Amino acid sequence: MKIPFYYVLRNFFARRLTASITITGIALVVFVFAAVLMMAHGVEKALVATGSNENAIVTRKGSNNEISSIVGRDVVNELRTMPAIATGDNGKPLYSAEVTTVINLDKKTGGMSNVSVRGVGENVFALRPQVRLAEGRMFAFGARELVVGKQTNERFRGAGLGEKIKFAGDFWDIVGVIDAGGSAFDSEIWADAEQLLQVQNRAAFSSMTFRFTNPTDLAAMKSSISVDPRLNQMDVEPERSFFEKQSEALATFLRILGLTITIIFSVGAMIGAMITMYTAVANRTVEIGTLRALGFRRRSVIAAFLVESLTLSLIGGLIGIAFASFLSFFSISTMNFGTFSELAFSFALSPSIIIKSLMFAAIMGIIGGFLPAVRASRMNIVESLRAA
C-alpha cells in the first residue's frame, strides 16, 4: 500500500520554518556548485570562441602555447604558398603571422597584472570576423599604435582611447577599442606584428594563423609538413581545437578548487536536511504508528520520507540555480595558464549545468533523508501509538 503524495505535501506545509531553513541551506550549496561550473564553462566558452572552425594555426611542436612557440620567417614564407591556404578577395593568401608577448599594467581596482600583446598581420579582421572596432580606428601598420580589447580597456589604467602605453622602451598610442564578442581577444592588446618584432629585437613569429580551403587539404598539408625537413618541427591544427586545449588546464583547476569547497558546504547542508527529517520523525510518531497500523508497509514509510526530503532538496536546488543564473550578467578575470596573462570572462549557464546542479541537490536530499526514513520505518507500532 502506497502513501498518498498529498500526505507528504501536507507535512511540508505544516513545518514551514524548518523546511525553509533546510531549503535555504541547500539553495546556498547549489548556488556555489552552479557558480563553479558556470565559471569553468565561462572560461571554456571564452577561449573556444577565440578560435574559428575555418582557421588553422601553426606553432612549433612541443610548445603548449603561443608564448613558447617560435615560427621562423622562412617557415611562414614557405607555408603561405601551400594550396591548403585560402586566398582573399585580392587573390593573396589569407594568413596572419603573429607574435605574442606579455606586459604589465596597473589594474583600476588596484595591483598589477599581465596583459597579452598580440602582433597581427593585415588580414586579421578577415580571419576573425567576430572581432569588430567598437571605438576609434584600426592601428596603422608601420606605426607604433595599438588597439585594445574591450575588457582590457575597462579593467586597466592607461588603456583608454587616446592614451599611451610604454613598453619595449617606447610609447605606443591607443587608437581604437575592439569588441571580440566575449572571446579571449577582449583581454588582449593588438599591434603591428612587424613593429612588435622590431622593438623586441626578435627574428621569429610566435604562430601563423590562416584560413584553410577545406579539411582534406588541411590534412594533406599536415602530412606534407611532417615529411619536410624544413618544416617538420611545426604543428598544424584547427584554431578552435588549439584554444580548446588552452582552456582545459584552467577550467579543470577551477572545477577542482570549487568542487572541493562545495563538497565541504554540502556536508553541512546534508546534516541540516537530516536534522529536519529527524525532527519530522520525532514530531509524527503517532502518525507513523497510525500509518503502520492501517497496513502501510515499511518501504512505503521510507519512500514517503525520502520523497519529502527529495522535494525539499529539489526546491532548494531550483532556487539556487535561479540565483546563480544572475551571475551571467557579471564578468570576472583570472590568470590564463596558457598565456600567463589575465583573461576576462563571463559566468555561463548551460542545460548540462542545470541538470548537474539538480542531480547534486537530489543526492544531498536522498543522503540527508535516508537515515531518518529508515528510523521512521522501524518504529514499533504499539509504542508509536502509545506516544499519544
What pLDDT was estimated at residue 288? Answer: 58
Which tens digits make up the pLDDT trace of 200-251? Answer: 888 899 999 999 988 888 888 888 888 888 888 999 999 988 888 877 777 7
CA dihedral 203, 126, 191, 182 (to 10 degrees): -120
pLDDT of residue 339: 72
pLDDT for residue 94 is more than 80? yes
Task: Tell me the residue length of the chain.
Answer: 388
3-state DSSP assignment of residue 100: strand
Q: What is the pTM of this model?
A: 0.79
pLDDT value at residue 382: 52
**Closest C-alpha to 297, from 62, 17, 1, 6:** 1
Sign (positive/negative) of CA torsion 132, 137, 141, 143?
Answer: negative
Q: Which residues contact 312 (CB under 8 A, 6 or more apart)?
A: 12, 19, 22, 23, 26, 273, 276, 365
Q: What Cα–Cα distance (Å) separates residue 319 from each residue in 20, 270, 275, 315, 360?
A: 12, 17, 21, 6, 13
Q: What is the pLDDT of residue 292?
A: 58
pLDDT score recorded for residue 293: 61
Of 15, 33, 56, the closest CA to residue 323 belongs to: 33
Distance CA 39, CA 326 (A): 13
The Cα 231–Cα 234 span in angstroms is 6
Strand-strand pairing, 112-120 and 188-192: parallel
pLDDT band at 19 (very low <50, low <70, confident <90, very high): confident
1: helix, coil or strand? coil
pLDDT exceeds cutoff 60 at 176? yes
